[in-house]
A and B are shown apart, each in its own frame.
Chain A
C-alpha cells in the first residue's frame, strides 16, 4: 500500500461514533429532529457489537406487568442497587434505564422485531423472565436480526452510515467538541468529521488479556471492541471510571466461551452446576416462579429480602479445585421440556448462540436433556458488571461540552448492557440533536489532528524493521495477565506499567495495508486501556467482592470510608490525575 493517504472531510450536525445498539439508537432518535446525522462504525452496523448476531432480552420496569403485582419502580431500583451492583451505581443512570427502557421495547416492534408471544398469559402477550432482580424483569424479544433491522431503520430515516471507519481521536476547540478523525480500515483514507454535537458509543474494552480457548478473538464479548472510545476520551481530557474492575479468572462454558449465565440467568431455573458424580455445587434456583407472574400480588420488600438472602456469589471454582473437587458441569438435565425449549430459543437468539447450538446439535448430537457442558476458565474481561467507562452528567454529557456518551461507553451502571444502550442511546440522540440545532455553525478546527493521524499511519506503512501488531498485542496481554491478574500489589502494578512503557517505546509496529493498519491502531487503544486498568488498580488501595472481585494483597481489607466511590482518572496537562466521585 502506498503511504500517501487521502484525507476526506465530512460535515454534519450530529456525529455518532460507534454503531452498536447505543449508537444506532442515538442515530435513529437524532434523525427525528431534522438534523444531518452521520454514524461512523469500525465494522458493519448490520452485525457489529455485543448484539451483532442477536440479543433476546433487556431488563426494564414493565408497568402493565409490574404495577398490578405491587412491584414499583423504586423496588426495581432497590433490587439493582442492593443486588446487582453492591451499591456501586450512578442512580441517575439507573433511573433512566429502569424507567425508560420499556418504551424502547415498544420501539423495537416498530423496527420489525417480534416482542409478543401467543403462549403468554401476561398483558401485551409479553414474555418476561428472571435475571438480575427479585422478580422477572427481563423482557424477551426475537432479536437475532435486531442490528440489521436497526440499520435499515436508521437508513430509512436518512442517517448516513460510514462502515469500516475507525475513529481514533476527538476534535475540540475552546473546550467544546468539534468532531473527530478516523481511519478507513478498508479504503486506507483519513476521515475528518466536523460536527456540532458528538455521541461516543464504541462499547467495551476487550482484548487486554490472553484468550483462553486458542483462537485469539474467540471471546465471550466482541473482539472488535478495543476500548477506542475510552482511549480517545482520556486523551481528550474526559474522566474515565471503574477501569480497575477488570475481572479475575472466571468460569463459564469452556471452549466456545459462550455465556450461559451463572447458571442463574439464561439457564434459570433449569440450570445447576454439578460434579461428575452428580454432586451439586450450585443448585437449581427459583427465586420467583415466572409462571405465577401477573397472577398474584406480592409483598415486594419481603420478596427482595428472601432474594438477597438466597442469591450468593458464584462459588470460587479455583478454591474448590484446590480441595480436589470438580470438574464442574452446567447441568440442565433436570429441566422440564418447557424450560429446555425456552432456553434453546433464548440461546438461539443471542450472541454466538445461533450457529453454536446448531453446530453442537448437528455435529455432536448434543441434547440438554441428557448431556452436560463443562465449566472451564474463560478469558478475563472488563465486563458489564463492572460498568467501566466515561464520566457523564445527568444529561449524559461528558466533561467536554457537546460530547455525549451512551451504552457501555458510559461508566457507572453495572449490568448496563442493552437497557443502558437502548435508554441512553435514545436520550443522547435527542440531546445531541437539540444541541446541534442551537449551534449556527461548525466550530473551526486546525488540521493538526489529521496531520498527526497521517504521520502515525505513514510511519507504520513505511516501517521496514517493525513488528507485526499480533506480536505487540500478545506482549501487552502477557503483561496484564501477570502483573494485573487475580492479585494486584503495588510493586507488581508499578513494574507492569514500566513494562508497558518499555513495549510502547521499543516495539515499532509495521503495517502492509489498511487492514493491518487498523489493527495497529487497535493495539494502541488496547495499550492505553491496559494502562488505565493498572493505574486505577494502584489507586484503589483496598480489596472488595462487589461489583466484582478486586484483590490487593497489600490492602486486604474493604475500606468503605475511602473507597466506596468511583475513581475517575483524567489527563490534565499531560499527566493523569485521579479524583473520587461519590454515588449520586
Chain B
C-alpha cells in the first residue's frame, strides 16, 4: 500500500548503501547495475530515515521519503502564545 521511498533515477547510482543499512530490510538491489534499488516491502518501512541519512547523494535528492497522509503531523499555524511557567 505504501511507497515510503522514491528514488530519482537520474541521481541515484545504485550504490545500495540504503539496501545494506535498512533496519527493516525493505529494499533489494536492482538487477540492473547502477540503477536505484527496488522497494520490495514498502509496508514494512519504519520511517527511521536511515536510507536518507546514509545516502551519499542525499544533497542532490537521490531519494525522498514519502510521508503517508495518516502520518503527517498536524500543524496549528498562528500567533505566538505567551506562556509562563
Contacts and interface: CB of A to CB of B under 8 A. Distances in A.
Q: Are A and B part of the same complex? A: yes
Contacts, number: 159
Given A47-B54, A285-B85, A223 B21 contact: no
Given A44-B21, A144-B53, A218-B46, A359 B74 contact: no
Nearest to B4: A215
Contact of B71 (A215, A224, A470): A215
Contacts of B70: 213-215, 255
Given A48-B23, A216-B43, A280-B83, A372 B65 contact: no
Contacts of B73: 253-256, 258, 360, 364, 373-374
A506 B84 CA distance: 57
A255 B71 contact: yes
A274 interface: yes
A222 B44 CA distance: 12
Given A53-B53, A283-B85, A359-B65, A218 B74 contact: no
A369 interface: yes
Contact of A284 (B20, B79, B84): B84
Contacts of A374: 73-76
B45 interface: yes
B61 to A, nearest CB: 10
A272 interface: yes
A43 B48 CA distance: 13
Nearest to B72: A255
B19 to A, nearest CB: 10
Nearest to A286: B85
Question: For chain A, what secondary structure do more than half of its interface residues adopt (helix, strand, loop), or is it mixed?
Answer: loop
Interface in A96-117: none
Interface stretch (A295-303, A350-358, A544-552, A564-572): A350-358
A409 interface: no
Nearest to A279: B81
Interface residues of B, number: 40
A185 B76 contact: no
Interface string B32-55: 000000001101111111101110
A34 interface: no
Contact of A372 (B45, B47, B78): B78
Nearest to A54: B53
Given A47-B21, A284-B83, A213 B71 contact: yes
Interface string B1-17: 01010000000000000
B85 A284 contact: yes
Contacts of A219: 46
By size class, the interface of chain A is: 35 or more
Contact of B78 (A186, A213, A370): A370
Given A255-B71, A515-B25, A47 B83 contact: no
A461 B15 CA distance: 32
Question: For chain B, what secondary structure do more than half of its interface residues adopt (helix, strand, loop), or is it mixed?
Answer: loop
B83 A186 contact: no
In this complex, the member of B40, B50, B82, B84 whose beta carbon has the largest number of chain A beta carbons within 10 angstroms is: B50
A52 interface: yes
In this complex, the member of B21, B74, B83 whose beta carbon has the largest number of chain A beta carbons within 10 angstroms is: B83
A371 interface: yes
In this complex, the member of A52, A53, A213, A334 whose beta carbon has the largest number of chain B beta carbons within 10 angstroms is: A53
A213 B70 CA distance: 6
A371 B75 contact: yes
A224 B24 contact: yes
Interface string A360-403: 10011010011111101000000000000000000000000000
Nearest to A273: B83
Contacts of B22: 43-44, 47
Given A52-B23, A355-B65, A370 B80 contact: yes
Given A359-B67, A360-B73, A371-B77, A224 B85 contact: no
B55 to A, nearest CB: 10
A215 B53 contact: no
Contacts of A52: 23, 48, 50
Contacts of A408: none
B39 to A, nearest CB: 13
A489 interface: no
A324 interface: no
Contacts of A123: none
B85 to A, nearest CB: 4
A342 to B, nearest CB: 18
Contacts of A334: 80-84
Nearest to B70: A214
B5 to A, nearest CB: 11
In this complex, the member of B4, B67, B78 whose beta carbon has the largest number of chain A beta carbons within 10 angstroms is: B67
A217 interface: yes
Contacts of A285: 85
Nearest to A516: B41
In this complex, the member of A269, A354, A359, A376 whose beta carbon has the largest number of chain B beta carbons within 10 angstroms is: A359
B46 A217 contact: yes
A214 B70 CA distance: 6
Nearest to A44: B21
B23 A254 contact: no
Given A274-B83, A284-B83, A217 B44 contact: yes
Contact of A283 (B4, B21, B84): B84
Nearest to A351: B48
Interface in A328-344: 329, 331, 333-334
A131 B66 CA distance: 32
Contact of A333 (B41, B54, B74, B80): B80
Contacts of A352: 47-49
A254 B74 contact: yes
Given A47-B21, A48-B23, A255-B74, A53 B50 contact: yes
5 contacts: A215-B2, A215-B46, A334-B84, A370-B77, A374-B76
Given A334-B80, A363-B67, 12 more contacts: A213-B71, A215-B4, A218-B47, A222-B23, A222-B46, A255-B70, A255-B72, A272-B83, A333-B79, A355-B52, A356-B49, A369-B80
The 8 closest A-B pairs by CB, nearest first: A355-B49, A214-B70, A374-B74, A47-B50, A43-B23, A217-B46, A333-B80, A372-B76
